Amino acid sequence: MAELTRDQRIDLLKDLSQVPGIPGHEVLVAKAMERHLSGLVTTDYDALGSVAFERTADDCQGPRVMLAGHMDEIGFIVKRVTDEGFIKFHQVGGWWDQILLGHRVVIKTRSEDVIGVIGSKPPHILTSEDRKKLVKTKDMFIDIGAKNKEEVEDFGIRIGDPILPVSPFTQMTNPDRLMSKAWDDRVGCGLMVDLFHRLEGESVPNHLIAVGTVQEEVGLRGAQTSAALVEPDVAIALEVSIAGDVPGGNPDEASDKLGDGPSLLLFDRSMIPNLKFRDLVMTLAREHNIPLQPSVMARGGTDAGKIHMHRTGVPSIVLAVPTRYIHAQSGIISLADYEKALDLLTVLVRALDAETVASFRP
């Protein structure tokens, strides 16, 4: 199969974003990526579940280039079932408590999906003081319509079962805008699949390995173990960035905008990028007329934070697609931004020959 058409690209993003995969439960995402890459790659796994894809036709002996996109999404797990049949839950990954009440969720059991809602009191019975209070996750519950604890058990629900928001993929009235759960980081997974289709039959001056990592949202864990599996000479983390172009947005906190192109992360809590690698990305973007948004993130980190510290160090950068409402039930991306990120990733991979990668070292 040659490069994906736009419709195929949208179908890919729909499929990957809708697969359930909270930290520790990413196997279905890995299988979806395997399905979309069938015939193009060989596959290997580390012991945590991160999956590495190598192009079957890639016999180049050049530098080992690692692409990393994490497969996990934020969600919850079942913590306790009350005698009355309500589900108490624990966050897995970072949520803002205020956005949770009243939203539908799905509990993934061994046999079936169980739909519920994060319960909330109607405003009619709240005092004026209660309305001002922020309800904490520890005080919330999920109502699945069960009569009691025994019926919950009959539904097959167990402690530790994963819980995800119900958020169908939607191509919005502006067809450039795509809304779904889990853009963080199925966008990165999609870019890797897309790139391998684009490069089918083409020789590149490096040994290209794409990795779907696990458990990024709970400590960049899969990045650490998969770096040991891949042993990269250079790494590119593919991520989302925070789009601040909304009412009340502050460019000092989040300057990226939807529709203005991909983002290059210049600083985050986990990594300062290799400066020569950073400059190469900026130069290539300018030479190929690809819009690029420089970005700084004071809090948070990416898989590159672990990968760049592997052994004696791996020159690394983060290329991202601006996304509104990350770490929420539904996010919005621009398809044009995604495609520009793919264009930049393509010219970057084509440029990473042995001499260029060697130049990143002091």
pLDDT the model gives residue 135? 87
Based on the domain organization, do 238 and 291 belong to the same domain? yes
- Are 266 and 332 members of one domain? yes
Residue 223: both structure tokens together: 């990045």
What does the pLDDT read at residue 253? 84
Could you tell me which residues come within 8 angstroms of residue 344 by beta carbon, excluding any fewer than 6 positions away?
262, 281, 284, 285, 288, 290, 292, 319
Q: Which residues are catalytic?
A: 216
Question: Do 14 and 120 lie in a common domain?
Answer: no
Residue 307 within a domain: yes
- Enumerate residue ranges in the chain where pLDDT < 70: 1, 57-60
Quick one: which of 190, 213, 189 has its CA closest to 310?
213
Query: Strands (DSSP E) along the chain, which ranges?
Result: 41-45, 51-55, 64-70, 75-81, 86-92, 104-108, 113-118, 142-143, 162-165, 170-171, 177-180, 207-213, 234-242, 263-267, 293-296, 316-324, 331-334
Q: Is residue 27 part of a domain?
A: yes
Q: What is the CATH number of the domain that holds 144?
A: 2.40.30.40
- CA triplet 47, 305, 52: central angle to 5 degrees? 35
Q: Please tell me whether residues 327 and 272 are part of one structural domain.
A: yes
Name the β-bridge partners of 323: 242, 333
Predicted TM-score (pTM) of the model is 0.95
CA dihedral (117, 123, 124, 125) positive or negative: positive
Does 202 lie in the same domain as 87? Answer: no
- Same domain, residue pair 97 and 84: yes
* 250 and 322, same domain (yes or no): yes
**The dihedral formed by the CA atoms of 93, 96, 101 and 107, expressed in degrees to the nearest 10:** -10
- pLDDT of the residue at 110: 93
Is residue 150 located within the same domain as residue 110?
Answer: yes
Regarding whether 208 and 156 lie in a shared domain, the answer is: no
Same domain for 249 and 326, yes or no, is: yes
Task: Give the sign of the dihedral formed by CA 245, CA 251, CA 253, CA 257.
Answer: positive
Q: What range defines the domain where residue 64 resides?
A: 6-73+181-359
Radius of gyration of the chain (CA): 21
Residues 69 and 158 in one domain: no
Do residue 204 and residue 244 come from a single domain?
Answer: yes
Q: Specify the number of domains making up the chain.
A: 2
Quote the DSSP letter at residue 174.
S
Query: What's the pLDDT at 71?
Result: 98
Helices (H), 68-166: 128-131, 149-154
- pLDDT confidence of residue 58: 58
Q: Which of residues 136, 165, 194 is at a domain's end? A: 165
Q: What local confidence, expressed as pLDDT, does residue 251 receive?
A: 86
Chain centre distance of CA 347:
22
Q: What is the pLDDT at residue 357?
A: 97
Environment class of 150 (CB within 10 Å of its CB; exposed 0-12, middle 13-18, buried 19+):
exposed
Find the CATH number of the domain harbouring 213.
Answer: 3.40.630.10
**What's the confidence (pLDDT) of residue 59?**
65
